[in-house]
A and B are shown apart, each in its own frame.
Chain A
Amino acid sequence: MPGILIFSENNAIALELVTAGLGLKATMNHSLCAVALSEPDAAALAAAGADKVFLLNGQDWPEGCAQPIAELAARELAAVILIGGTARGKDIAAKVACGLDAGLVTEAQTIEIAEDKLQTTRLKYGGLAVACEATGLPAVVTIAPRTFDKAVAGDGQGQVIALDAAAGDPRVKVSDLCPIERHGVDIASAARVVCVGRGLAKQEDLALAEDLAKALSAEIGCTRGIAEDYHWLPVERYIGISGQNIKSELYLSLGVSGQVQHVAGIRDAKVIVAVDTNEKAPIFAAADYGIVGDLYEVAPLITAALKK
């Protein structure tokens, strides 16, 4: 029976995929299968509604799961394979798609079956546009974290089936796994955000943005360059198509030009404010309120005005 197969090496994301998969199951009338890497994960997926969970043993590098997942998908005649859109997940998805000779849609925002094809929407041109696309079955799709709500544990009676993974590629050796420290803030759910861009001249000047953030009870966010090139702030604080999406009631930017890849992450903010020296900066077209000026002059003035 052709079905739906889901996988993420991160089980919180796998539970989000269960929600997406159950949505498809309602229209496709096919079973929902999942692949898990540990017993507790497998049990959680079964409880949340997966009909069958394959417990893949003996692979300590998630990327090594691509081949067994492709083989399993072929054997189970999976029509839609949903994979969590982490960096590892996107790598795995491409290899699964190759193994199945299938199409792959990256970071789909919506998925449905229409006319025996998978119909998806996703961003294009750095977030400037939304493309609606159709992919023949079988189709592989990656879904970004937090696109769907997590499925809650119910009284799912899904079967758990142990599966031995193939041996890894002897040419590849993985070492020095090193976690990147998290700093605890979740910018995606912050109520207010002060965002700094490359208009900031040096790292010490972050203090200026921090003072303003304090006066607004806001969290500090940034553009990709501040996090990835300058390393002034942790990567989980950068906003945009390849970073976080924010839904805050207020977003206030200091020295952010507002390229579309960044703006794609602030569209859901309720009020957008921009401070930038360049009147032609695209951020002003995306903003509700703007001040054309030097952030070193304007930011302290806003802080002072708020304190009054």
Chain B
Amino acid sequence: MSKILVCYKWVLDEQDIRVNAADASLDSSRAKYKISDYDKNAIEEAVLLQEGQGATVDAVTFGGDAVKQSLKDLLSRGPDKVFYIADPSADKADGYVTAGVIAAAARKTGPYDLIICGEGSADSYNQQVAPRLAANLGLPSITYVQSLKLEGGRVVATRKLGDCTEVVTVEGPAVVSVVPEINKPRIPSLKQVLAAAKKPAEEIKIADLGLSPKQLTAKTVSLTVKGFVMNRKNILFKEPAQADNVAKLVAALAKEGVC
């Protein structure tokens, strides 16, 4: 039976992050965490393969202490087991460190026939962890996959590349990143949520991964992060009759010289 690993990131929900208009600083004190949007597609794809042809699905995440909150949500989406690396150093990790940590974890818990990532993480959207992970593990990578099949020991994927599509076939294991249109992630049922409580979640200590201090030091360091402040007129037309609102809008647009 095939063994699949799916990688997901536990990220702050950007919808809850406020930009302070005065100094453009970010206020994430009220922000909740979520499974990175496109990783839900990665998880769903792994679970579809699990249901379609029988496969075991492991999941892995690397993050700060908060990742522990993600385990139940993750397991209710279908994977059989989750490995998590919870370490404060994750806050400063870039694609280089993250891919190194996940590769080391996958070496410990694998080998896998297929590793699935999302197209890009919702917070940093680096789109680099999947191909880096592949390079670290000495595997071929297939990025931007819109349809995926496992045929025996072979991975067959259609890539979507802006101006074309192409089919990539890899003999043996591969790392893929999937685009969101590959599937529609399910909302976990009550039964799945209950079943999740019985599934295993295993912590892997970062110190047990055998990585050198250099491998745990980010190549890219954040200097400043500044929110965008939108300075717009914010005029809402609120007459009871829409015809009146439309008349006001068209008058305003005429005044702006754009209609």
Measuring CB to CB, which residues of chain A are less than 8 angstroms from any residue of chain B? 86-88, 90-91, 93-95, 97-99, 102-106, 119, 123-136, 139, 169, 171-180, 182, 192, 216, 228-229, 235, 241-242, 249-250, 259-260, 263-264, 267, 270-273, 279, 282, 284-293, 297-298, 301-302, 305-306
A residues less than 8 Å from B233 (CB atoms): 287-289
Assess whether B194 is interfacial by the CB under 8 Å rule.
no
Q: How far is the CB of B18 from chain A (nearest CB, A)?
A: 9
User: Is B252 a contact of A172 with CB atoms below 8 Å?
Assistant: no
| B250 interface residue (CB < 8 Å to A) | yes
Q: Out of A95, A139, A241, A286, which one reaches B232, CB within 8 Å?
A: A286
**Is B51 interfacial (CB 8 A cutoff)?**
no
Identity of the chain B residue whose Cβ is nearest the Cβ of A105 in the assembled complex: B220
> Whose C-beta in chain B lies nearest to the C-beta of A224?
B180
- The number of residues on chain B lying at the interface, defined by a beta carbon within 8 Å of a beta carbon of chain A, is 79
Question: Does the CB pair B221–A134 fall under 8 Å?
Answer: yes
Instruction: Give the complex CA separation of A270 and B96 in angstroms.
Output: 39
Which residues of B come within 8 Å of A, CB atoms? 12, 14-15, 17, 19, 26, 94-96, 99, 120, 122-128, 130-132, 134-136, 140-141, 143-144, 158-172, 179-181, 184, 218-228, 230, 232-238, 242-243, 245-247, 249-250, 252-253, 256-259
Measured in the bound complex, the distance between the Cα atoms of B224 and A261 in whole Å is: 20
A267, B245: Cβ atoms closer than 8 Å? no
A228 touches B180 (CB 8 A): yes
Looking at the complex, which one of A123, A260, A302 makes contact with B250 (CB distance below 8 Å)? A302
- B227-A271 in contact (CB<8A): no
Cβ–Cβ contact A128 & B162, under 8 A: no
Interface contact A103-B225, CB-CB below 8 Å: no
Q: Find chain A residues with CB under 8 A from B120 CB.
A: 242
The reply to whether A192 and B258 form a contact with Cβ atoms under 8 Å apart is: yes
Name the B residues within 8 Å of A128 (CB-CB).
Answer: 14, 17, 19, 26, 227-228
B163 contact from A179, A282, A286, Cβ within 8 A: A179
Shortest distance between the CB of A121 and any CB in chain B (Å): 9
How close is A71's CB to chain B, nearest CB, in angstroms? 14
Does the CB pair A174–B168 fall under 8 Å? yes
CB neighbours (8 Å) of B161 from chain A are 86-88
* Listed A/B pairs (9) with beta-carbon separation below 8 Å: A88-B161, A94-B131, A135-B220, A175-B167, A176-B167, A180-B165, A260-B14, A270-B258, A284-B236
Main secondary structure of the interface of A (DSSP, over half): mixed
Q: Closest CB of chain B to A267's CB: distance in Å?
A: 7
A292 neighbours in B (Cβ, 8 Å): 236, 238
Decide yes or no: A180 and B164 within 8 Å by CB, A271-B258, A288-B234 being known contacts: yes
Chain A residue numbers with a CB within 8 Å of B164 are 177-180
Assembly CA distance A62 to B221 (angstroms): 30
Which among A99, A123, A133, A284 is the interface contact of B221 at CB below 8 angstroms?
A133
Bound together, the chains give a CA A103 to CA B169 distance in angstroms of: 29
Q: Contacts A134-B221, A171-B140, A305-B246; is A87 near B14 (CB within 8 Å)? A: no
Also in contact, A305 and B220, with CB within 8 A (given A87-B162, A172-B170): no
Q: How far is the CA of A135 from the CA of B169 in the complex (A)?
A: 35
What separation, in Å, do the CA atoms of A291 and B237 have in the docked complex?
6
Contacts between chains A and B (CB distance < 8 A), count? 238
B204 smallest CB distance to A (angstroms) = 22
Smallest Cβ-Cβ distance to B25: which chain A residue: A129
Contact between chains at B250 and A132 (CB < 8 Å) = no
Say how far A302's CB is from chain B's closest CB, in angstroms. 5
Specify which of B15, B135, B226, B246 is in contact with A302 (CB 8 Å cutoff).
B246
Q: Is the Cβ of A298 less than 8 Å from the Cβ of B246?
A: yes
CB–CB A133/B235 < 8 A: no
How far does the alpha carbon of A282 sit from the alpha carbon of B228 in the complex, in Å? 14
The reply to whether B123 and A174 contact each other, CB–CB distance below 8 Å, is no
Instruction: List chain A residues, Cβ under 8 A from B124.
Output: 124
Verify A130–B250 contact, CB threshold 8 A. Answer: no
Residue of A nearest to B28 (CB): A125
A178-B166 CB under 8 A given contacts A228-B181, A288-B233, A291-B246: yes
A250–B222 CB distance below 8 A: no
Asked if B169 and A94 make an inter-chain contact with CB atoms under 8 angstroms apart, the answer reads no
- Chain B residue nearest to A294 (CB atoms) is B242
Most chain B C-beta atoms within 10 Å of own C-beta, residue among A182, A271, A279: A271
A106 to B126, CA, bound (A): 5
Residues of B within 8 A of A180 (CB): 162-165
Q: Verify A90–B143 contact, CB threshold 8 A.
A: yes
CB atoms of A106 and B162 under 8 A apart? no
> Which of A86, A98, A287 touches B135 (beta carbons < 8 Å)?
A98
Nearest B-chain residue to A138, judged by Cβ: B219
Is there contact, CB below 8 Å, between B222 and A133? yes
**Complex Cα–Cα for A131 and B169 (A):** 37
| Chain B hits for A86, CB < 8 A | 161-162
User: What's the Cα separation between A86 and B120 when bound, in Å?
Assistant: 14
10 closest residue pairs by CB, A with B: A103-B219, A94-B131, A98-B135, A288-B233, A125-B14, A176-B167, A250-B258, A94-B128, A301-B246, A103-B220
